[in-house]
Chain A
Amino acid sequence: MRAQIAQRTLRTDRWWLPPLATFVGLLLISIYAAVRTFMGDYYWVDEYRYLTPMYSPCLSEECLPAAAHFGRPLPELPGFLTPPVVIIPFLLGFRVTCYYYRKAYYRAAWMSPPACAVAEPHAKYTGETRFPLIAQNLHRYFFYAASLLLLINVYDAIYAFSTGVGLGNLVLLVNVGLLAAYTLSCHSCRHIAGGRLKHFSKHPVRYWAWTQISKLNAKHMQLAWASLIFVCVTDLYVALVASGTISDLRFVN
């Protein structure tokens, strides 16, 4: 018999604050991303060749030809669907199966557990042993897909320099920098790079890579938030310039 303590937790600090903040943060970003996705507009600044990362690559028939850096192999999407729906499953899949975001939403949305040493409200618990949560194990395949999309974002950011340099270029550059740091700091990346080895001494290069990625990996949570927020900032900046609401600050034309 356990000690009889009726309270769900005896914690006296504001343990509910971090999960609440996480929940609100993720909710706001999801709403922003959904609105921008289904807007289907203001994703390309023709004059300066800025393409928002949310619409990159733009692959379907309705894409503006200049924004479709890799052609438009897909036919026009039916109904209310917009170009990002083609890539969003991969981007979302990458974030949703990420070890950090899993922790974040298991705690904040599913309350399993809401905070440490605070009882969860569920009567049964099977963790990640069954469908659908067992699919979290597919994370590394999303990592591969997201790495490809990252390369495309890097291409977009470089391509935008072909008309000069403006604030938008810097925004795109910082964005790919953060995305790259987030992607490289992924636990699956750490594992693939060298974590899976039993004898580091036999693989000095991979050991070195593992050491470097481990340093980044320790900041994975911070990079997850920074890159997520900055994608929205980048998208907003491109949208504001594309819609003519603000004009891009140019340094070199």
Chain B
Amino acid sequence: MGYQGHFRVWRGSDQGGGLEDFTVEVNEGEVVLDVIHRLQATQTPDLAVRWNCKAGKCGSCSAEINGKPRLLCMTRMSVFAEDETVTVTPMRTFPVIRDLVTDVSYNYEKAREIPSFKPPAGVAPGEYRMQQVDVERSQEFRKCIECFLCNNTCHVIRDHEENKESFAGPRFLMRVAELEMHPLDEADRVPEAQSSHGLGLCNITKCCTDVCPEHIKITDNALIPMKERVADRRYDPVVWLGNKLFRRN
């Protein structure tokens, strides 16, 4: 049975904006994106929202619902009480373009900073041979749908804009881990993980893992293993003490 639902939606642009209240029809089986579309169709034809697949696979519809970073198309209305006000806001960490649409260029810039896959010399595409057990680990990370909810939630940049320059975010630290664990990748990615991609800024508080709609264990399987690899090289206490005492580098 349908009911009249209370919605509070952030409307505005980079010039400013705020939350506006709406009452919209909600039907059984709907997700938040359906209601946003009904709002667009019946009351606010100029409401901006980015979406594509409506199936949780394109990663376009990332937003925040009652303060929690989620996909609009994968959040069922049935998780809310009928008299509950549902607040929908754009992702906080990225600059807003209009209404629920943000400019996610930060993520593409960070993606470009990571050197691409480096196969062994002399092995042409098509000649790659690897064991299933060896590629399995990095395949988990390939489930990523690039929704950037993890980067949006990570407090390192969410609460500290100034860290954006030095921090690739969980999504792209995971990309570094993926390549580092890839059986055929020959590049050494460990020193850069710490120095250029900002692995040390992550304090493993796991919010990226909590919000990932693909349930990738970002912290346990990508970030912590990378921290351990850095520790292998840089924080052997004996080497570290030597460096401190004799100012070696």
A residues near B, CB below 8 A? Answer: 1-5, 9-13, 99, 102-103, 106-107, 112-113, 116-120, 122, 124-129, 133-134, 137-141, 187-188, 191, 195-196, 198-201, 207, 217-218
Contacts and interface: CB of A to CB of B under 8 A. Distances in A.
Interface string B194-205: 000010111111
Given A5-B89, A200-B133, A139 B96 contact: no
A116 B235 contact: no
A133 B10 CA distance: 38
13 contacts: A11-B68, A12-B84, A99-B224, A112-B155, A116-B207, A119-B159, A122-B159, A125-B155, A188-B231, A196-B229, A196-B232, A201-B133, A207-B133
B110 interface: no
B160 A124 contact: yes
B235 A3 contact: no
A114 to B, nearest CB: 9
A137 B134 contact: no
Interface in B174-217: 181, 183, 198, 200-207, 210-211
Contacts of B17: 3-4
Contacts of B133: 200-201, 207
Contact of A128 (B67, B201, B232): B201
Interface string B221-249: 00011011111101101000000000000
What are the 8 closest A-B residue pairs judged by CB atoms, nearest first?
A: A10-B67, A11-B67, A137-B235, A116-B207, A127-B201, A129-B200, A201-B131, A191-B228
Interface residues of B, number: 59
A129 to B, nearest CB: 4
Contact of A127 (B66, B131, B156, B237): B156
B66 A113 contact: no
A103 B159 CA distance: 17
A102 B204 contact: yes
Given A120-B155, A218-B220, A3 B205 contact: no
A10 B66 contact: yes
Given A3-B90, A12-B66, A140 B10 contact: no
Interface in B3-62: 10, 12, 14-19
Nearest to A122: B159
